[in-house]
């Protein structure tokens, strides 16, 4: 089955694989890796010409045709609207901002077909204008909490993506890490790319994409002998797992990060703290603050998501809870 996409202004100048992912958001199996494979295999044409480079740029008005695998089309199921509670931080006729709880999935996948933020937004969209349909502008890992942005129209989606990618956008995360972190602030400039042996992981590599994280130490405690610190991390670029990989590579793995961290709770002498760190069920990472000019009105848009209860409890036990105020 062929899927025809007409690139709009929000697609202009963007990579071909990203444009396809945006327009095939209703297909959980159309991952970026899958899309890149279709492109390399000759299954994608742009205005009638086969393109085999995922990084090829698309212009507004281009007609992109994608040959979808039969098994993907056969396995496609429509997303089901569900009446699910969401912690809404902001909403207007263009955008909706949500404080995502840890464990909540943003978009349906083969493993999580229901109970996602998108299922909930489809339910809410029943009261929106007839032409409006929700889409996610950004995403977070299942076990990361904090701010995610949804758009109500394709125009708002494209405009918000451009705004978030701009130099003036502020995207700040809280991260509880192991280590002494001797400096008060710094920058991590480390190129990243997908691990060729496991596409679900990211590794540092000289041939990777430029990736920049700015950080500030908000507080630290002795937690002998390993040490603990609470960091504020600002994303300059927005690569997959960027903060997790950057901090681990700096010697400050995030508490609870089983993919990139280490079980350094074993080195904590205090028994109560050691048990709490060992039992923390996820990476202690929270998308905390976002500031950007509203892409449709130009007005300042400043959002803050309070850390969820599990992280608040852990910060209270460490004595760092006031640093996240």
**Biggest CA-to-CA distance, the chain:** 66
Better-scored residue on pLDDT, 2 or 207: 207
pLDDT at 1: 64
pLDDT at 77: 54
3-12, 21-30, 108-117, 305-314: which is most confident: 305-314
**What's the CATH code, domain 2-74?**
3.10.290.10
Sorting pLDDT into bands at 50, 70 and 90, what band is 200?
Answer: confident
Contact 153, 132 (CB under 8 A): yes
pLDDT at 320: 93
pLDDT at 177: 98
Whether a cis peptide bond, with omega within 30° of 0, leads into 69 is no
Report whether CATH 3.40.449.10 matches the domain 88-165.
Answer: no
- Check if 92 is active-site: no
pLDDT at 166: 87
For 109, residues 6+ apart whose C-beta sits below 8 A from its C-beta are: 28
Buried b (16+ CB within 10 A) or exposed e, 199-224: eeebbeeeebeebbbebebbbbeebe
Q: What is the pLDDT of residues 95-127, one digit of tens each?
A: 999 999 999 999 877 677 789 999 999 999 988
Mean pLDDT of 182-189: 96
Mean pLDDT of 200-220: 93
pLDDT at 110: 65
pLDDT at 117: 94
Residue 73 clears pLDDT 60, i.e. is over it: no
Could you please report the per-residue DSSP string of 143-194?
Answer: T-EEEEEEESSHHHHHHHHHHHHSTT-EEEEEEEEES---SSEEEEE--EEE
Q: Which of 141, 267, 270, 310 is catalytic?
A: 141
d(CA 11, CA 167): 19
d(CA 296, CA 149): 14
For the chain, residues classed under CATH 3.10.290.10 are: 2-74
Residue 316 clears pLDDT 70, i.e. is over it: yes
145-151/285-293 β-pairing: parallel
DSSP 315: H
Tokens 């509203």: give the residue. 294
**What's the CATH code, domain 170-324?**
3.30.2350.10
Residue 74 clears pLDDT 60, i.e. is over it: no
Q: What is the pLDDT of residues 225-276, one digit of tens each?
A: 999 999 999 999 888 899 999 999 999 999 999 999 999 999 999 999 999 9
Three-state DSSP at 201 gives strand
Residue 9 clears pLDDT 80, i.e. is over it: no
* Rounded (10°) CA dihedral 11, 12, 18, 22: 0
Residue 78 clears pLDDT 70, i.e. is over it: no
Residue 67 clears pLDDT 90, i.e. is over it: no
Residue 72 clears pLDDT 70, i.e. is over it: no
pLDDT at 203: 92
Contacts by 267-276, CB closer than 8 A, 24 or more apart = 267/225, 267/226, 268/223, 268/224, 268/226, 269/224, 269/225, 270/223, 270/224, 272/317, 273/223, 273/317, 273/318, 276/313, 276/314, 276/317
Mean pLDDT of 154-175: 90
Sorting pLDDT into bands at 50, 70 and 90, what band is 212?
Answer: very high
Q: Model-level pTM?
A: 0.79
Of the listed ranges 34-43, 48-57, 114-123, the least confidently predicted one is: 34-43
Quick one: which of 146, 114, 157, 207 has its CA closest to 23? 157
Residue 75 clears pLDDT 80, i.e. is over it: no
Quick one: which of 140, 138, 142, 170 has its CA closest to 157? 138
Share of the chain above pLDDT 90, in %: 59
pLDDT at 323: 85
Three-state DSSP at 45 gives strand
For the chain, residues classed under CATH 3.30.2350.10 are: 88-165, 170-324
Burial of 12 (0-12, 13-18, 19+ CB in 10 A): middle
Better-scored residue on pLDDT, 290 or 76: 290
Could you please report the per-residue DSSP string of 263-312?
Answer: -GGGGB--HHHHHHHHH--S--EEEEEEEEE-TTT--EEEEE-PPPHHHH
Q: How many CB atoms lie within 10 A of CB 27?
A: 20
């Amino acid at each position: 089955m062929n899927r025809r996409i007409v690139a709009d202004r929000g697609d202009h100048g963007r990579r071909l694989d990203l444009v396809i992912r945006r327009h095939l958001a209703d297909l959980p199996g159309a991952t970026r890796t899958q899309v890149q494979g279709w492109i390399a295999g000759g299954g994608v044409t742009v205005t009638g010409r086969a393109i085999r480079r995922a990084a090829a740029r698309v212009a507004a008005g281009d007609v992109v045709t994608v040959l979808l695998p039969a098994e993907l089309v056969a396995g496609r199921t429509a997303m089901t609207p569900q009446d699910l509670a969401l912690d809404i931080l902001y909403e207007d006729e263009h955008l909706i901002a949500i404080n995502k709880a840890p464990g909540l999935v943003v978009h349906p996948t083969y493993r999580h077909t229901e109970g996602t933020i998108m299922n909930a937004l489809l339910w809410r969209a029943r009261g929106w204008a007839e032409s409006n349909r929700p889409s996610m502008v950004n995403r977070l890992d299942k076990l990361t909490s904090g701010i995610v942005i949804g758009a109500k129209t394709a125009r708002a989606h494209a405009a918000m993506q451009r705004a978030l990618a701009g130099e003036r956008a502020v995207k700040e995360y809280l991260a509880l890490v192991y280590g002494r972190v001797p400096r008060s602030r710094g920058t991590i400039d480390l190129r990243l790319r997908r691990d060729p042996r496991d596409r679900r992981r990211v590794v540092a590599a000289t041939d990777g994409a430029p990736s920049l994280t700015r950080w500030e130490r908000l507080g630290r405690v002795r937690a002998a002998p390993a040490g603990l610190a609470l960091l504020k991390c600002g994303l300059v670029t927005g690569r997959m797992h960027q903060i997790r990989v950057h901090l681990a590579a700096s010697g400050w793995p995030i508490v609870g990060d089983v993919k990139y961290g280490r079980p350094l709770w074993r080195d904590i002498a205090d028994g109560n703290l050691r048990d709490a760190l060992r039992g923390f069920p996820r990476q202690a990472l929270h998308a905390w603050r976002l500031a950007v000019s509203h892409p449709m009105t130009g007005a300042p848009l400043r959002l803050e998501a309070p850390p969820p209860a599990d992280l608040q409890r852990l910060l209270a036990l460490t004595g760092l809870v006031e640093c996240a105020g």
